[in-house]
Amino acid sequence: MKRVSKFLLIFGIVFLSITKIYARPKTKIIVNGNDITDVAQSVNKDDRILVPIRFISEALNKEVNYIDYSKEVVISDVSGKMTLQIGSRLIELPNGEYILSDVPAQLINDRTYVPVRVIAESFNMAVSYDFPTNTVTIENGTPNPDDSYQIQGLEDVARTIQNYTIIPGKNIASRIVKSNLFIVDPITKKGIINGKSTNLSISYTPIKAKDFSIILIASYDKNGNIVTGRGKKVSTKLVPEVSLEGVTEGAVVNEKAELMPKMNFIPVSLSYTVLDNNTGNAKKYENKDPFAPWQFEVPGGESRNVQVTINAIDIDGNNYISNPVNFEIQTSRRFALTGVKQNEVINKTVKLNVNRNFDVTSTRYYLGNAVGETLLKEKPYGEFIFNPSEDLNGSYYLRSEVTLPSGEILSSDKVNVTIKGGRRLLLQGVGPNAVITGDTQLSYDSNLEAKSVKYIFNGPQSFTVTGIIGGKTKFSPANRKSGTYKIYAEIETNKGTLKSDVVSVKIHNEKIFGPAPIVPKNKFIEEFSPLAVEAMKKTGMAASIQMAQAILETGWGQYVPVDKYTGRISRNLFGIKGKGSAGSIISNTWEEYNGVLYRIDDYFRAYNSVNESWNDHKKLLLTKERYQIFRDVMFDYIRGAYAIRRAGYATDSGYPGKLIKIINDNNLRKLDEVSF
């Protein structure tokens, strides 16, 4: 008899592809030489053949019992028992391990049908298949090693990070392209992905201090179908370990200490506490990334002896504190003038500031040349707007000077510039393409002293707004015609009239539409979780983190962007700018002109359906190169939340914590569960 195990034993079913072109004889089942075909009729389901477990088991002298309330089938003999459950892919073996079938046990006509591999692996039977006669043979013997699938490293305890090796037979190895490690609840048979791999090594990282779980490793083919899997019920009660790497006890660190947390579990949040050993003062640094280094430095010019500890919090709110690390750190002073570049030509207003890493009590800005130096401005700290007077022309330098709390004075390097003289008047408060829909503060900046100021509008109607000298003027667009205007500032000085550049703005007095709800708040999860789960099945991205982002971006669907002029809803659940499948809607963003922020129109993607928005967001995260660090861990909502912020999706240091809180508070993690 020809043994064809490649299509039968590999993935959990000694069921065959049934050709739909040529008729096939009824599947014959031979158990230890006995033909039981008449009593153990097979079933063709989804082009696969399943067999009734009771008749085959009894033919092998096994005892079969059915537990009605749990829908479990228990098959036993003197060597032990195996247990399977109707609707579950998991089969518990006599040795306490589990095998994973690519098809769940099924109840058909009051009989339980399973893949033959369940019998073969459970009781070490040899199984073969003869294609010409369509015969399955089960007999005492050794299973074909080419069809085996073992996990090296599976023990009774997994209380810290564990590394496992997948050992597949050659028939199975040729089909595997990836594997997932699941933490499975022994009662519900539902699991969460904990690790992924595209080779034969895979790791488990504790996340919850639970007593027992099934650690299950499942392997998949190129189409994402289960090939096979194996697992074991183990004690997963965490023995936490938290330590600080990057600096050693008693070390002397120059400039910055790059601190790296190391844990043997997945924390939801992490903070550092830095104690000054000399003063006894301590400072806590919160919202730090548990999976990335953190740079710590002291004020420039100082040297401190510090003690650093890590506080990591797990998913249940338990706090774990590392052993302290004491070290000396000293940081050089960094001090430079900013806002201008060496050899820059200045023909307009510039913002001067200083970049420093130490405290000061006074900051001064100077302008000088070969003849002498002039103090431009003295203030405690902060920027200074330098608007050169009209008679300044030629080569100069700019520098800054600061006074430290100790009284010490430091000076920055000189920045050589060329100043182009002339009269200047800058319009502020609005800029190119500004949109005025309400009260707006108009102002100006000039290097001449104004005797009067006015703002002149030319458009659907022409009018002049009298301004406040040296201050801001409130302009209300009420009772003005909507449309596009040209606006400029004009001042009268002792040297005549001076006008600013002309900019184009829009006055809009009609109704303005703001963000609108797309679904009742209490229906958000019900409405959109199917989209998240479907996307998870296709991409592997945790459904919980998809939902949390949509909730955070739209306030539970209550603040979806709409076109501010027409009220057309965008169906954009993730605030992505640009053009979508339904074009764009116009909303607001901010620009800067002459040193002042103002509001302009911007375009956000619009979609024909929420499904399109959901898919577009996934496409963004799955294709952009910078999100690779997110894709590496997107199956896990905690690691994924920190990685997506690290990739630049958000700048808010609290963004990961907000996502995690939304997920935990609303039990969204259940959306990530896979039923076995």
Give the per-residue pLDDT at 14: 36
Residue 16 inside a domain? The answer is no
Strands 415-419, 344-346: parallel, antiparallel or unpaired by DSSP? parallel
Both 606 and 541 in one domain: the answer is: yes
Which of 236, 251, 266 corresponds to the end of one domain? 236
Both 541 and 670 in one domain: the answer is: yes
Give the per-residue pLDDT at 24: 53
User: Whole-number mean pLDDT of the chain?
Assistant: 90
The first and second tokens of residue 496, run together, are 């005549």
Assess whether pLDDT exceeds 60 at residue 453: yes
- Tell me how many domains the chain contains: 6
Give the per-residue pLDDT at 86: 92
Give the per-residue pLDDT at 499: 95
Both 526 and 669 in one domain: the answer is: yes
Both 175 and 109 in one domain: the answer is: no
Q: Is 489 helix (H, G, I), strand (E, B) or coil?
A: strand
Residue 369 inside a domain? The answer is yes
CB-based contact 524:559 (threshold 8 Å): no
* Per-residue pLDDT reduced to its tens digit, 485-522: 999 999 999 999 999 999 999 999 888 898 999 999 99
Both 360 and 473 in one domain: the answer is: no
Residue 21 inside a domain? The answer is no
Give the per-residue pLDDT at 349: 84
Residue 2 inside a domain? The answer is no
Could you list the beta-strand ranges (E) of 286-361: 294-296, 303-313, 319-321, 325-330, 335-338, 344-346, 350-356
Assess whether pLDDT exceeds 70 at residue 9: no
Highest mean pLDDT pick, 76-80, 156-160, 609-613: 609-613
**Tokens 């801001």 belong to which residue?**
472
Both 666 and 526 in one domain: the answer is: yes
Distance CA 618, CA 611 (A): 11
The first and second tokens of residue 150, run together, are 């073992």
Instruction: With cut-offs at 50, 70 and 90, classify the pLDDT of residue 46.
Output: low
Q: Specify the CATH number for the domain of residue 101.
A: 3.30.457.10
pTM comes to 0.83
Which of 236, 270, 298 corresponds to the end of one domain? 236
Domain of residue 408 covers 335-420
Q: What is the mean pLDDT of residues 358-364?
A: 96
Q: Specify the CATH number for the domain of residue 545.
A: 1.10.530.10
Both 438 and 412 in one domain: the answer is: no
Beta bridge partners of 183: 192, 215
Residue 572 inside a domain? The answer is yes
Give the per-residue pLDDT at 115: 77
Q: What percent of the chain has pLDDT over 70?
A: 95
Highest mean pLDDT pick, 66-75, 381-390, 655-664: 655-664
Assess whether pLDDT exceeds 90 at residue 20: no
Residue 553 inside a domain? The answer is yes
Both 542 and 660 in one domain: the answer is: yes
Give the per-residue pLDDT at 625: 95
Assess whether pLDDT exceeds 80 at residue 45: no
Both 308 and 355 in one domain: the answer is: no
Give the per-residue pLDDT at 47: 65
Of the given ranges (289-303, 432-446, 590-604), which has the lowest mean pLDDT?
590-604
* Per-residue pLDDT reduced to its tens digit, 78-134: 878 889 899 999 999 888 899 998 888 888 888 888 877 777 777 778 888 788 888
Give the per-residue pLDDT at 18: 34
Give the per-residue pLDDT at 19: 34
Residue 4 inside a domain? The answer is no
Both 435 and 402 in one domain: the answer is: no
* Per-residue pLDDT reduced to its tens digit, 187-221: 899 999 999 999 999 999 998 766 789 999 999 99
Both 549 and 442 in one domain: the answer is: no
Both 364 and 415 in one domain: the answer is: yes
* Per-residue pLDDT reduced to its tens digit, 513-555: 989 999 999 999 999 999 999 999 999 999 999 999 999 999 9
Residue 194 inside a domain? The answer is yes
Which of 330, 365, 387 corresponds to the end of one domain? 330
Nearest to 218 by CA among 104, 98, 49, 92: 98
The first and second tokens of residue 558, run together, are 């209550």
Count each helix (H run) and each strand (E run) in the chain, helices first.
9, 50
Q: Specify the CATH number for the domain of residue 262.
A: 2.60.40.10
The first and second tokens of residue 539, run together, are 């991409």
**Tokens 């894709």 belong to which residue?**
631
Q: What is the dihedral of CA 592, 595, 598, 600, to 10 degrees?
A: -20
